[in-house]
Structure 1
Amino acid sequence: MSQSVEEQSSGSVSGRRCAICFATRPFILHLLFYRGLQQHLCTSCVLDSHPGSFCPTCFDVFLHNSPPPHLLALCKKCPSISHLSCVPDVAFASNDYLCPPCSNPNFTFFCVTPNRANNAIEINLHLAKQLVAAATIATESIHNAAAMARYNAEIRVKEALVAKAEAAEVLKRFNNLLNNHGHRFGNDAGGSKIHEEEGCSSRFPNADDDTFVD
């Protein structure tokens, strides 16, 4: 019997853990390719492992609409990219800008704290932006992997068709070679047979022949 959506979702979360921080029961797990392998990562680890893919302040994702370089600020410690408008003027002017994770050793993306009253998890706008950013990065990762797999499959198909055509051409040449050799061998065998019959008649005449001279 098939499980409900809630049961499937709960089972996938409780049955797996984040491949980076090893959290056994994260709020949500994202499926994406990490270090060449298909992995499940929590929201915090997705964001932490993809610096430069989003602004760590407003959480806009830089995938296909990255702002111009003159509107961006680069962290001096990591590949993180921030909107210039999201960076304090003093920090950027001094060329010592540090992104939030690098400026605060205790910084954590998607820090969710259950409500003390009912132990429920509340997602505010700030956390929702982080969740959407991580989901967007994970979705792009899966799409890129699927596109690459499709591209590699098309290449393999083309290679197989070329190999098939080459094999057919080799087989055709081989059959032609066999036919040519078979025709030549047949002619040689016939000539030898005639020669042997003529030689036998001239060298060994019939004993009953009256024209035989002793």
Structure 2
Amino acid sequence: MKIHLPAIGPDLPIHPRTGLTALGLRRNGQPIWPVRGASPDDPGEGDQDGGDDGPDVPPGTGDAGKQAIDRMKQERNEERKARRALEAKLAEYQKAEQEKAEADKTEAEKRAAAEQRAEQAELRALRLEVAAEKGLTPAQAKRLVGATREELEADADDILATFPTAPAVPAPKPTPKPDPSQGSRGGGGKPSAQDRAAKRLERLGIKNT
């Protein structure tokens, strides 16, 4: 936004080094020099958070010039307030984005840890399965190394070739217990103690009741 002040009052001085015309005169008569490279809306050093720092009204300025300067000061203050509000919103947005990024990072780390635990559990189950299929002992199963079934099977074959398992010794069959009822049956079996006692009583003439 450009504000053209009316040419009222004395001629404004020209800077001997920059060749720029002064913006106005202060109350003490000192000229207000423009800053080179600054836009008319942002004269540079004067646009800080120090409140109303617009140019003083040059001596001899009429009502129209004073009104123009007042409007310039008001607009500059409004722009400063709007800029501070935008900067606050930007800082709040950046903070929210940073917190969101941290939360997303935490969730990603949790998912990665859960996936790693699942892979490890699956590999342990696969190792036990291969060990059972190959007939490995528990000690040999602990030596299995591999990330896939093919690798585990190949490693199991190497273990069996290097450390062959001893053939399993069959357990002895239990000896059957004698059946006492077999002595009373006919046939050339050995008489039982009860039969011998009955015969002895019979020889003595005593009836066994």
- Class of the TM-score when normalised by the shorter of the 2 chains: 0.3 to 0.5
Normalising to structure 2: TM-score of the pair?
A: 0.39
Q: Higher relative contact order by CA 8 Å / sep ≥ 6: 1 or 2?
A: 1
Higher share of residues assigned strand: 1
Which of the two has higher C-alpha Rg? 2
Normalising to structure 1: TM-score of the pair?
A: 0.38
